Each structure stands twice: as C-alpha cells, then as structure tokens.
Structure 1
Amino acid sequence: MKKILAGLFFISGIVFMLACDDGIDYEKLRREELANLKTYIDQVHPGAEPTASGLYYFNEEGTGEGDTIKLGDQVQIYYATWLLYVVDEEIDSILIDQTSGYLDGHRYEPYRFIPGAGNSIAGLEEGITYMQPGSRSKLVINSELAYGQRGSNDGSVGMFKTLIMEVEVYKVIPIEIPEE
C-alpha cells in the first residue's frame, strides 16, 4: 500500500510540474534584461556603480537641502516612469506613467507614500532614501527591485523589465520618534 501511495504521489508531482511548465524561458528573459541594463549604463552613465541591491541613482547637482529622507518619513513626490528597451545596441524607452503632469510642468497632487512601508516598488523606496527635500534624481531600477518575473498587475510593465524613473521630492514629513 505504501508503495502504491508513494507511486501516486510521484506521478501526481510529475503531472503537476508538467502542467506548470508554461514554456517561458525565465532565465533567458532575465539575462536579456541584465544585458540591456548594462548597455544602457555603459552608454548613458559609463563607470556608474549600483548600490548593493542593484539600484542605480543619479542625483541632480545643486538640488535639495537638509537631511536625506529616512525610512518611515512620509514623502510626497512627482515622478515619471519609462520602460527601458535596447534593440541592436540602440537605447529606447517608453513613457508608462507620470504623476500630476510632471513632464508638462504642471503640478497637481503629488504621489504620497512612506518609504519602508512596502506600498511602492522596492527600487523607489530605496532610491528615495538617497534624496533630500527638494531634490531631483534619476533612478534606474532593475526588475528585481520593480515588478520582477510577474510584471505589474495592470499589465503596463511586463516581466523582467527595467524602469527608469525621474523623481522630484516635493515635501517630506519626518517620522516622529516618541521620547522615552
């Protein structure tokens, strides 16, 4: 009886694995993304080094003042986001999102979030901690820090896509640490 049950579990496991094979070579897609990211960095920001997590950030000179933003601070930002594409060593990008007319010079309601709370993609949450109130930065966010293998829920970002974000910090409300 034990041999029959073990055999059934083994067969059901194989059937499950075959049913889950969707024919997508995820490793190939990830390698292509990393090659595109390298091409972009080599051409646009030669010599740039990522953070330990793989994030690239480029702060604009002369913007921002005060302390850098901390995890737990409430921030209000304006941003625009592009998908990075490289075709035959030619860099291209597609605008997929912008808040409050950021690129058009309009300022309406900024995007609000708390870095570290997990309400935004990890690359934005990390990148904001290198910024100061009033600063502007470009963040180059690989898929591991964005939407990864699954892509975005709304379908605007496919699997293994690098994002480029231009971010402007509008306002910071520092975290209040209670005195003991």
Structure 2
Amino acid sequence: MKKTLSWILLMLGGVAFFACNNGIDYQKMRNEELALLDEYMAVAHPGAEETSSGLYYFNEAGTGEGDTIKAGDRVQIFYATWTLDKTEEGFDSTLVDETSGYLEGHRYEPYQVTVGTGGSITGLEEGLTYMQPGTRSRLVINSELAYGQSGSGYAIGAFQTVLMEVEVYKVIPFENLTDEE
C-alpha cells in the first residue's frame, strides 16, 4: 500500500512538473543564451573581462568622481535597456525600457535604486558598485543577473541577455540616509 501510494505521488509530481514547464527545455534555452552572449562579446568587446558573477561593465573614460557606490547607498540613475538578439546579419538589440527621456537627453525624473536590497535586477545593482557619481556605463547582463527563466512581461523573454546604458545622477550614501529619503 505504502509503495503504491509513493509511486502515485511520484507520478503526480512528475505530471505537475511537466505541466508547469509545458515541455520547455530551460537548460537548452540557457545554453543558447550563453553561446549568443559569448559570440556577442567576442565580436563587440573582444578581450573584455567579466566579473565573477558574469557581468560585463564598460565605464566611459573621464566620467564619475568621488567614492565608489556601495551596498546600502541610494542611487538615482537615468538608464535605457535593450535585449540582445541575433539576426542573420549579426547582432541586434531591441529597446525595451527607457527612463526620463534619457536617450533624447532630457533627463526628467531619475529612477531610484538602493544598492544591495534586491529592489532592482542583480546585474544593475552590481554594476552600480563599479561606478561613482556622474559615471556613465554600459552593462551587459546575462539572464541569471537579470530576469532569468521567467523574463519580464512582454518585453524581455526567458533567458534573455539585457544591455543597459546607465548614468549615475546622484548618490546618497547609506550613512547619510534619513527616514524622509
């Protein structure tokens, strides 16, 4: 009886697993993403070194001054986000998010991130720790540091690398934060 019940529960668990992923091979999707990312980096940024987490960041020369941003700091940024795509001609990117007229140079209201709290994607929060007030940077963020297998709504699919252009507008160091901020 116990053996039959265990077998039934095991089968139901298997059915539930396959019903949840609809037969999607997530490992294959992740491997394809990593192959595309490796190919893109070899073409677009040969010799670039990634951080231990897999993030690539490219700070523009001559931007930023002051202390490097650290966990707990509240950072106001302007940014734009693209997805990395492969075409027959090579690589392409699709703009999926842009804040405050950033690309048009208007700079209306900045987006606010508290570094290290998980309030934003991990790759962005990590990328900010390599920046200073005034820094402009480009980030190449693999899906593990972005939106993973779930993606982000309609704009960013499962296992999709995102490219971000970020400008640090203002940093409020953790030790200077007040209850009003």
Moved more, 11-20 or 92-101: 11-20
2:108 match: 108
User: 1:156 aligned to 2:155?
Assistant: yes
User: 1:166 aligned to 2:155?
Assistant: no
User: Normalising to structure 1: TM-score of the pair?
Assistant: 0.92
Deviations 1:121-144 (A, max 9, x none): 000000000000001000000000
1:175 match: 174
Residue identity matched to 1:168: E
1:33 match: 33
1:52 match: 52
* Cα shift at 1:146: 0.2
| 1:11/1:42 CA distance change after superposition, 3 Å | closer
CA RMSD of aligned residues (A): 1.7
**Structure 1: which 5+ runs fail to align?**
none
Aligned residues: 177
* Cα shift at 1:21: 4.7
Is the 1:137–1:166 contact (alpha carbons within 8 Å) kept by the matching residues of 2? yes
User: Normalising to structure 2: TM-score of the pair?
Assistant: 0.91
* Cα shift at 1:88: 3.8
1:80 match: 80
Could you tell me how far apart the structure 1 residues matched to 2:150 and 2:111 are?
Answer: 24
1:20 match: 20
| 1:17/1:111 CA distance change after superposition, 3 Å | closer
| 1:175/1:94 CA distance change after superposition, 3 Å | same
Residue identity matched to 2:111: Y
Deviations 1:53-97 (A, max 9, x none): 000000000000011001100100000100001224601000011
Deviations 1:118-174 (A, max 9, x none): 11000000000000000100000000000000111x321100000000000000001
Is the 1:73–1:172 contact (alpha carbons within 8 Å) kept by the matching residues of 2? yes
**Structure 2: which 5+ runs fail to align?**
none
| 1:89/1:74 CA distance change after superposition, 3 Å | same
